[in-house]
Structure 1
Amino acid sequence: MRESDLINDLQTRGMRLVDPRVGHESRRGGAGPSDHKAVTIGDTTVMVPVHTAPAFESPYLVDVPDGSGRSRIMRNGTEIAKVSFPSRPRFYDLTTADGIPYNKIAVLHSRDVLATTVLQTCIRYESRKKTCQFCAIGQSLAAGRTIAQKTPEQLAEVAKAAVELDGVKHMVMTTGTPRGADRGAAVLAESARAIKAAVDLPIQAQCEPPEDDIWHQRMKDAGVDALGMHLEAVNPEVRARIMPGKASVPLSKYYSSFEAAVRVFGRGQVSTYILAGLGDTVEDILAMSERLCALGVYPFVVPFVPISGTPLESHPAPAAAFMRAILEPLGTMIVRAGMRSEDIKAGCGRCGACSALSTYEKLKVSA
């Protein structure tokens, strides 16, 4: 099995662990890749579901590490591949000047990506009638694994330590959507400015499209290197059903905001997250991706992962064949558009750990 196909299969089916303690803590709840664990296959580190319903029934079993720190992935008693797990980051053992554990401020994603949710609350999450049905932003806060708002000073302190102690290469800052026309851009700009004053670290900011496009330049001037504005779903009917609050921001606003952002950050430095498996067809996603590539926006398509405790916890994950039908032609599309994940300065597309997309993209580059 090709590495790209194995990663795709693992990310849709998940994996079972003989020893769940292997590697540093898995991600549960929160706003980022949740109910996952980071695993390195060959030279590629990816996030694979371990705490989801599909994962509990996965045909893939990962055994305990051998003397070299590598584990076997087994399927029906046959070894499929060797994997390893990133170790616990050293910065996790520290606390901020005001007594907050660093891993409540920001966490390590993949091998070298620092991630944080600046505001752990969201206007979309306040009402079941408006919430994104897949979102677990409130879970980690309720469980005491994070704090409601990270200050610029805290973020700068933790980012500096993560670079110095663990070799972090770039940072993702997302946020719940606050009330206000900037849709979170203001707090992201404030945070980026403080981080860049403390350490030279490329930053991706993620928010809904601000009402006024001037915020793109303000974020850029504050030190944001790349921007993510996430569609999640692309068909209007699916958007209205799955995320009724966020769908009140029309696709037309996303298109105009994408155009404005690309003028500021450049082609390939603006991206959007698309969750495949929520109801959009292969054709829906590829048609949207073609439009995004024409705009200079990197379409980061990832398999939907049903998270425990959300309204969609029993929704099935997409089949590996469904994902491959999207990712293979999408890899070609992205390369033809002159946008590659490795050229993104910071963020989810550069990291690539939540999707097999970058591995399909590299197949097209080497072909």
Structure 2
Amino acid sequence: MNAMTPTVPTERLINELQSFGVRLVDPTAGADSRRGGAGPSDHKAVTIDGVTVMVPVHTAPAFESPYLAEKPDAGGLSTITRDGHPVARISFPQRPRFYDLATAEGVPYSKIAVLHGRDVLATTVLQTCVRYASRTKTCQFCAIGQSLAAGRTIERKTPAQLAEVAKAAVELDGVRHMVMTTGTPPGKDRGAAILCESAAAVKAAVDLPIQVQCEPPDDDIWFARMRQAGADALGMHLEAVTPAVRARIMPGKAQVSIERYLQAFAAAVPVFGRGQVSTYILAGLGDTREAILSLSETLIGLGVYPFVVPFVPISGTPLESHPTPTAGFMHDILAPLSDMLVAGGLKATDVKAGCAKCGACSALSTYERRGAA
């Protein structure tokens, strides 16, 4: 069997897999899974029905998941079963060739940037955060220091290093866009200055769409500076949408109010364009379905793409035992949200670079395609 239509709609299956996770018969299949750090950690990329998604494999729920990925066959295809019954055929994106290279100083490229999904290059330019050392200020889900402590990355990626790796990733592995995020440094620009010099260096080396991600800087002039430096898209991530949840889950970051985020979004959209500014919302931290959809409606009205993903706990963080949201809860958010996005003219396929374009951490873009069909 070389192909198999999932036994349930693809968007529902992705929801299930991202809620339950997957047990792997062969953990070495495909590209390396990610542990710790920023972004979709403790996950592995899999392709289902032509859609590449990040699925938890190293979390507590995944170890007890009813879903099992069998050992890939000679063609690289694997069968996912639930309680022993086949539900879909999947493949694993292969380890990228640029991982085998190193800089002249001996720094492996994989410590500078990594592959997300199937064709996205991602890097945390500054692998430290002004709030991370304090458990009274840090985001309770954050693992930005874990990969640094484990020696899997370096603290500060220079513009020259990022340009070198980006060029190789495009030429060797067909990478199509890049995500640059950063821990928040001291200072009012909140990382925008670092992102400016990094984006400029990459754009000088290779024609690659770039999304930069930071907290809202105090001065809106930074949006134009990042755009002029070569950033094609911008992410400013709320994570949670109500003040009470934000204060409980991320006490330091919550000091930058939702109102300030909305002001920053309103200032950034004219610079980058409708749909080229996005925010990351973690469903399952305590916000209700109604709260997430209400704020999403406001964001869409501003021209901001609300990328809603299921919260997945990362080992070693204060929320490592926090439950993932159910697939039903995610369906009840993503189905109406996708309709709102289509009606508002915001589509993942139109985003130039970044998390919303990749879409691997959520089934949202799959719902979106279903709604637009």
Tell me the distance in 2 between the aligned counterparts of 1:359 and 1:278. 23
Tell me the distance in 2 between the aligned counterparts of 1:30 and 1:128. 17
Which of 129, 142, 165 aligns to 2:149? It is: 142
Q: Aligned partner of 1:11: which letter?
A: Q
Partner of 2:129: 122
- 1:263 maps to 2:260: no
Once the two structures are TM-superposed, the CA of residue 57 in structure 1 deviates from its matched residue by 0.7
Once the two structures are TM-superposed, the CA of residue 9 in structure 1 deviates from its matched residue by 0.5
Once the two structures are TM-superposed, the CA of residue 153 in structure 1 deviates from its matched residue by 0.2
Which of 273, 282, 293 aligns to 1:286? It is: 293
Please list every run of 5 or more consecutive structure 2 residues that lacks an aligned counterpart in the other structure: 1-7
Partner of 2:53: 46
Normalising by structure 2, we get a TM-score of 0.98
Which of 227, 235, 238 aligns to 2:242? It is: 235
- Describe the SS at the equivalent of 1:61: strand
Once the two structures are TM-superposed, the CA of residue 97 in structure 1 deviates from its matched residue by 2.1
Partner of 2:323: 316
Partner of 1:180: 187
- 1:15 maps to 2:19: no
- 1:337 maps to 2:337: no
Which of 158, 162, 167 aligns to 1:151? It is: 158
Please list every run of 5 or more consecutive structure 1 residues that lacks an aligned counterpart in the other structure: none
Tell me the distance in 2 between the aligned counterparts of 1:160 and 1:348. 20
Partner of 2:107: 100
Once the two structures are TM-superposed, the CA of residue 311 in structure 1 deviates from its matched residue by 0.1
- Residue-pair matches, total: 366
- 1:295 maps to 2:302: yes
- Describe the SS at the equivalent of 2:131: helix
Q: Aligned partner of 2:113: which letter?
A: A
- 1:90 maps to 2:73: no
Q: Aligned partner of 1:212: which letter?
A: D
Q: Aligned partner of 2:360: which letter?
A: A
Partner of 2:335: 328
Partner of 2:197: 190
Q: Aligned partner of 2:154: which letter?
A: I
Question: Deviations 1:251-306 (Å, cap 9, x if unpaired)?
Answer: 11101100010010010000000000000000010001000000000000000001
Tell me the distance in 2 between the aligned counterparts of 1:87 and 1:364. 31
Question: Deviations 1:102-123 (Å, cap 9, x if unpaired)?
Answer: 0000000011000000000001
Once the two structures are TM-superposed, the CA of residue 347 in structure 1 deviates from its matched residue by 0.1
Once the two structures are TM-superposed, the CA of residue 67 in structure 1 deviates from its matched residue by 2.1
When the two chains are superposed, the root-mean-square deviation of aligned CA atoms in Å is 0.4
Tell me the distance in 2 between the aligned counterparts of 1:22 and 1:344. 30
Tell me the distance in 1 between the aligned counterparts of 2:17 and 2:239. 21
Partner of 2:63: 56
Q: Aligned partner of 2:262: which letter?
A: Y
Partner of 1:248: 255
Normalising by structure 1, we get a TM-score of 0.99
Q: Aligned partner of 2:152: which letter?
A: R
- 1:32 maps to 2:39: yes
Q: What is the percent sequence identity of the aligned residues?
A: 73
Tell me the distance in 2 between the aligned counterparts of 1:219 and 1:69. 41
Once the two structures are TM-superposed, the CA of residue 84 in structure 1 deviates from its matched residue by 0.3
Tell me the distance in 1 between the aligned counterparts of 2:212 and 2:311. 21
- Describe the SS at the equivalent of 1:173: strand
Partner of 1:70: 77
Q: Aligned partner of 1:116: which letter?
A: T
Once the two structures are TM-superposed, the CA of residue 99 in structure 1 deviates from its matched residue by 1.3
Which of 258, 276, 285 aligns to 2:283? It is: 276
